[in-house]
Amino acid sequence: MNQDVLDEAVLRPSQRSALAELTTPPAPQAPPRRAPRVDKNVRVAIVHDWLVTYAGAERVLEQIVACFPDADLFSVVDFLDDRSFLRGKPVTTSFIQKLPKARTKYRAYLPLMPIAIEQLDVSAYDVVISSSHAVAKGVLTGPDQVHISYVHSPIRYAWDLQHQYLQQSKLTNGPKSALARLILHYIRNWDIRTSNSVDTFVANSQFIARRIRKVYQRDAHVIFPPVDVDAFVLHEQKEDFYLTASRMVPYKKIDLIVEAFARMPQRRLVVIGDGPDMQKIRAKAAPNVEIMGYQPFKVLQDKMQRAKAFVFAAEEDFGISVVEAQACGTPVIAYGKGGALETVRDLSSSRPTGMFFEEQRAESIIAAVEEFDTHASRFVAADCRANAERFSAAHFRERFFAHVRSAVPALQGASLPVYEPYVATPAVSGAAQAPRVLAIDQSGVLGGAELSLLEIVKALRARIEVVLFDDGPFRTALDTAGVNVSVLDSGALREVRKQGGTPPLGQALKGVAALVRATVARARHADVIYANTQRAMVIGALAGRLARRPVVWHLRDIVSAEHFGRKQLRIIKWCAKLGLAHVIANSAASARAFADLTGFDEKQIDVVFNGIAAAPFDALRNVPVATLRARLKLPQDAYLVGSFSRLARWKGQHVLLEAMVLNPHMHAVLVGAPLFGEDPYEVELRAFVANHGLGDRVHFLGFQHDIAACMCAVDAVAHTSITPEPFGRVIVEGMLAQRPVVAARAGGVLEIVEDGVNGVLCEPGDAHGLADVLAELRSNTALRERLVRNGYQTAIARFGTAAYVAGVERILKGVVGGKKAR
């Protein structure tokens, strides 16, 4: 650090002696700043840390852009899909934008961000406004530029939260820890140095202003961040339940709230949100605690309006959800530290809007809830709403624009632009814009195809609509993900099966016509139709032809006589010629079979491996196997071999049962249910178990939502399909669960498993071979460890969700930009 800066940091003016004041020569006066000329427009640049999502910092950025609609934008990276909050503005980015895996691993480039932000050239602007919680305030400015920095927080993980960050990242000791500490030390020095180039700081709360004072030795003007209070309606009638809503990450302390209410069975708690701590939080829940997971805004709004109180246990810089709850007229029970102290009026006020607890402990929350019940009559919904309105977006724009105007002489006579909601201009060509997608799927159940589609719609949520031909758990999952979804009545078409079963021709044609009409109506608002299943592809091809929209089929089957009847194969071949612009295959095996059947141009077929999220499995890494087995009512000491798929003959669960007869030292766990008229097969399996005396060694768990927990509860995963599998999602999930995988040697499986390296291959239908391999796995520790280690690396490197989503999105964009409906 520069010695002058260090001296100033150590010996502040208020601490200097009288002798020092007399003997130190007066500091030279800085020359006056050249004010921007008033006879020209003031040029404004807005610099933001990174643009990857729409969260609290981006809400502030949205309103700053509204204050200065002609400003130019700069950011370290920009990977936004929905750009509406930026009013369609382009963004100048740094060299990190083009580095490998920057879209998903941009935080890993933190050591390069100081130099990256310094390479953004804003020298042509009169005013620079940085929106900073990391490095944006470090942008280089000249002596005649005014730099105003709205600070959400100094870099938290480099300052007071460093030790918490290192613990959560498991970097408390060792060489990596030393390197991380060295990097954070460098960032702290850089952070202090660059604070000197900021002319005026704005903080989002008094709490952050104090942090700025402590870190930078600078005062900050406080302007609370904008909250969209108009999106929440005052609701005076409250119901007898408490609410908490947040992303489930450690510092939010949702687990403490759940633990507290689990010890208060007479009180009901509703929890909304998702994140890495989900499994940990579910484990602490009691019957009086409802874990809803991620919910669309309308559900959150409804629960927030009707809740008796909103419970908040995090130490936040501000805490937008606390204000949103009060906008609904709902009082708040909050941890008494951080920004909540500035947004909630406690019982010492004549018009209280909530109360505080002193410690982040379950006991403290319990005491606060009990005290809240005692004083419940003092909380008035209208008072909560009035308090929340102090933090409206309009109020933020007025205060922020006034602050910038007072700091820039050339803006003295300027007035705040009239706020107008942004309406996107329709694109001239779909090639340059992210396309609007109509996704269609025939099923309401949560099969492998539907789970894979769910990853796509989560990523493209803002510009995708989903149509299902049947209702069920998949529709619920889509609702939970906040996706626009509708269910069409498929009528007699529900009876169509891959193997050729069909309803009477008249009924079938009537059902097809109805689905096509409804799909055409929706397709007119989309740029591309994305069909996820075979029956959906047929409807999509017809609808695409009528609506003049390109159709992309995500092929998740091997289209051969082993999987489809002759009629279905003819229909697939006909639809390929009629209306398919492109095919995405989930494996090379699927792609080859489709090309052989249809003669489709190979340039119109791409292979994109399914992406499977590691987070649900990683979240269970520290959960004891005994805990998972107890939850699922599985034996604690047995060697458990798991099968994970719907109960269907071609999935080969009977092969695993035959192997159990040959291997008396093992148990089989069958996770799955008959989904498509395959109930007789389940009856057959149960009869086999009874006839061979396997009742105490075979465990039918039926359909399970938490596949990760089931996989982490077993010792090995068996994939036993007797006909070629198009992909083999279960195999990758087993690798992510860090369990050794045994799989059938056919189809797409061969593109995942390298025999003896990351899994073991057996001949399809060979029960003796399967029994021998499972026995070897049980006794050979070195083999198990090698398969687990290599399998996990394979799953992460080749089958991650980011690459999967990016691949599908790239193809959809290419089809919209370069192809027409066939």
Q: Higher-confidence residue: 8 or 145? A: 145
State the Cα–Cα distance between residues 496 and 508, nearest whole angstrom: 9
Range(s) of the chain covered by CATH 3.40.50.2000: 229-389, 437-607, 615-799
- Residue from 290, 383, 370 nearest 331 by CA: 383
Question: What's the whole-model pTM score?
Answer: 0.50
Residue 559 pLDDT > 90? no
Q: State which fold the 615-799 domain adopts.
A: Rossmann fold (3.40.50)
**Integer distance in angstroms from the first to the last C-alpha of the chain?**
65
pLDDT for the residue 66? 93
Residue 469 pLDDT > 70? yes
Residue 149's contacts (CB-CB under 8 Å, 6 or more residues apart) are 129, 130, 132, 136, 137, 198, 200, 201, 202
Would you tell me which CATH number, out of the four given (3.50.50.60, 3.20.20.60, 3.40.640.10, 3.40.50.2000), belongs to the domain 229-389? 3.40.50.2000
Task: Render pLDDT for 157-173 as a digit per residue (tens, 0 to 9).
Answer: 677 666 766 676 677 78
Query: Mean pLDDT over residues 563-579, rounded?
Result: 86
pLDDT for the residue 486? 87
State the Cα–Cα distance between residues 76 and 99, nearest whole angstrom: 11
Confidence of residue 505 (pLDDT cuts 50, 70, 90): low
pLDDT for the residue 503? 54
Q: Show the CA angle centred on residue 241, arms to residues 235 and 242, nearest 5°.
A: 85
Query: Mean pLDDT over residues 38-44, rounded?
Result: 69
pLDDT for the residue 306? 95
Least confidently predicted of 391-395, 574-578, 782-786 = 574-578
Task: Render pLDDT for 521-555 as a digit per residue (tens, 0 to 9).
Answer: 888 888 999 999 888 999 999 999 998 999 999 99
- Residue from 690, 676, 764 nearest 725 by CA: 764
Q: Higher-confidence residue: 638 or 615? A: 638
Q: Show the CA angle centred on residue 369, arms to residues 349 and 249, nearest 5°.
A: 105
In contact, 417 and 67? CB cutoff 8 Å:
yes
Confidence of residue 369 (pLDDT cuts 50, 70, 90): very high
Q: Show the CA angle centred on residue 487, arms to residues 483 and 489, nearest 5°.
A: 170
Reading the block at residue 511, the tokens are 């059902």
In contact, 251 and 164? CB cutoff 8 Å:
yes
pLDDT for the residue 4? 38
State the Cα–Cα distance between residues 275 and 619, nearest whole angstrom: 9
CATH number listed for the domain at residues 7-16+35-222: 3.40.50
Query: Mean pLDDT over residues 505-530, rounded?
Result: 85
pLDDT for the residue 23? 36
Confidence of residue 502 (pLDDT cuts 50, 70, 90): low
Q: Higher-confidence residue: 241 or 89? A: 241
Query: Mean pLDDT over residues 105-113, rounded?
Result: 88
Residue 809 pLDDT > 70? yes
- Cβ neighbours of 479 (radius 10 Å): 16
- Residue from 633, 639, 680, 679 nearest 660 by CA: 639
pLDDT for the residue 498? 46
State the Cα–Cα distance between residues 641 and 719, nearest whole angstrom: 10
Residue 574 identity: W
Query: Mean pLDDT over residues 688-702, rounded?
Result: 95
State the Cα–Cα distance between residues 422 and 408, nearest whole angstrom: 27
Confidence of residue 322 (pLDDT cuts 50, 70, 90): very high
Residue 718 identity: A
Residue 403's contacts (CB-CB under 8 Å, 6 or more residues apart) are 148, 200, 202, 221, 223
- Cβ neighbours of 423 (radius 10 Å): 9
Q: Which CATH superfamily does the domain covering 437-607 fall into?
A: Glycogen Phosphorylase B; (3.40.50.2000)
Upper half-sphere CA count for residue 142 (Cβ side, 13 Å): 11
Q: Where are the alpha helices (DSSP H) in 87-202?
A: 102-105, 113-118, 162-168, 175-195
pLDDT for the residue 649? 93
- Residue from 307, 304, 395, 349 nearest 63 by CA: 395
- Residue from 373, 353, 387, 93 nearest 227 by CA: 387
**What percent of the chain has a predicted confidence (pLDDT) above 70?**
89
Confidence of residue 817 (pLDDT cuts 50, 70, 90): confident
State the Cα–Cα distance between residues 815 and 505, nearest whole angstrom: 34
Confidence of residue 88 (pLDDT cuts 50, 70, 90): confident
pLDDT for the residue 565? 82
In contact, 642 and 672? CB cutoff 8 Å:
no
pLDDT for the residue 576? 85
Task: Render pLDDT for 175-212 as a digit per residue (tens, 0 to 9).
Answer: 888 887 888 888 889 999 999 999 999 999 898 999 99
Phi and psi (nearest 5°) for 605?
-125, 125
Query: What distance separates the 2 farthest-apart alpha carbons in the chain?
Result: 104
Give the three-state DSSP class for 586. coil
Least confidently predicted of 266-275, 295-304, 487-496 = 487-496
Instruction: Answer positive or negative: Cα dihedral of 368, 373, 377, 382.
Output: positive
